[in-house]
Amino acid sequence: MRGVPAALSSAGGISLSVSGLTKRCSKTLSFSRHHIPSPTCFSTNSSPGDSSASKPWLLVGLGNPGKSYQGTRHNVGFEMINAIAEAEGISVTNIHCKALLGKGCIGDVPVMLAKPQTFMNLSGESVGSLVSYFKIPLNQVLLMYDDLDLPFAKLRLLPKGGHGGQNGMRSVINHLKGSRDFPRLRIGIGRPPGKMDPAVFVLKPFTKKEREEMDFTLQRGVEAVRILLLHGFNKSASFVNTPRPSELLN
């Protein structure tokens, strides 16, 4: 699957311009309350010398920026972030490390929601920078993205794996120094009909019926993320990966 590449880098750091605004991701950038307020949960459950306890989860949805790509199959990762943000009351409007970023809590667990603005094929430029800048452990980096090889509107939660031909994931793995050891939530968009080019299919909008079904799947994804953060990977994987009764009848 192909995204639309764009060059959004500059010397001495990484920059992103969105609607006339430019923010940089460098070692000297101050990630202050002025940029993204820190919810109370970011300072809880930590103790002296225990750096991992206060590390937030980084939830990343992959997609292409711009109105022309909204509502397309390739952007369900962005839509999943939007659904989580709406459900948890998190604003994803700040710009950092080539991504739209928001900070909040799911229960008492600190989270950051990110939508890379590099276009799909270069997603790793943003994700790699975010992981490095905030020193997020890879087992707390959840990638959410569209998958041609899953039936439409099906979800699959995995603890690690390859890119499966998804160019955004290929870029992410490359920018994480080849590591594949991070969880991912795959969102099925199905195979293209007939002989349609997959690169064309992923940029097609949903039909009305598909839209309704995908919206239901996104809400199921929100619940899966809550279970993951509050109760652990195994319980969330069981919730996501176990076929529902309606699926067993198909």
Give the DSSP letter string of 157-218: EESS---TT-HHHHHHHHHTTT---S-EEEEE--PPSTT--HHHHTTSBPPHHHHHHHHHHH
Report the SS3 class of residue 101: strand
Q: Does position 20 have pLDDT exceeding 80, yes or no?
A: no
Q: Which residue has the tokens 């609607």?
A: 19
Is 74 marked active-site? yes
Neighbours of 109 (CB within 10 A): 18
Whether 80 is in a domain gets the answer yes
| Neighbour-count burial for 138-176, b at 16+ CB within 10 Å, e otherwise | eebbbbbbbbbebeebbbbbeeeeebbebbbbbbbbebb
Higher pLDDT among residues 250 and 240, named by residue: 240
Indicate the pLDDT class of residue 46, thresholds 50, 70 and 90.
Answer: very low
**Domain with 191 in it:** 57-247
Give mean pLDDT, residues 166-182: 94
Q: How many domains does the chain have?
A: 1
Whether 85 is in a domain gets the answer yes
Whether 133 is in a domain gets the answer yes
Supply angle C-alpha 192, 65, 15, rounded to 5. 140
**Distance, CA of 93 to CA of 131 (rounded, Å):** 19
Whether 150 is in a domain gets the answer yes
| pLDDT score for 23 | 46
Task: Return the DSSP state at 243.
Answer: P
Whether 44 is in a domain gets the answer no
Q: Which residue has the tokens 């899953």?
A: 150
Give mean pLDDT, residues 170-186: 95
Whether 33 is in a domain gets the answer no
Higher pLDDT among residues 51 and 64, named by residue: 64
Pick the catalytic residue from 34, 35, 74, 163: 74
Supply angle C-alpha 65, 92, 213, rounded to 5. 70
Instruction: Give me the percent of the chain exceeding a pLDDT of 70.
Output: 78
- CATH code assigned at 167: 3.40.50.1470
Neighbours of 15 (CB within 10 A): 17
Q: Which of 229, 246, 231, 9 is nearest to 119 (CA)?
A: 9
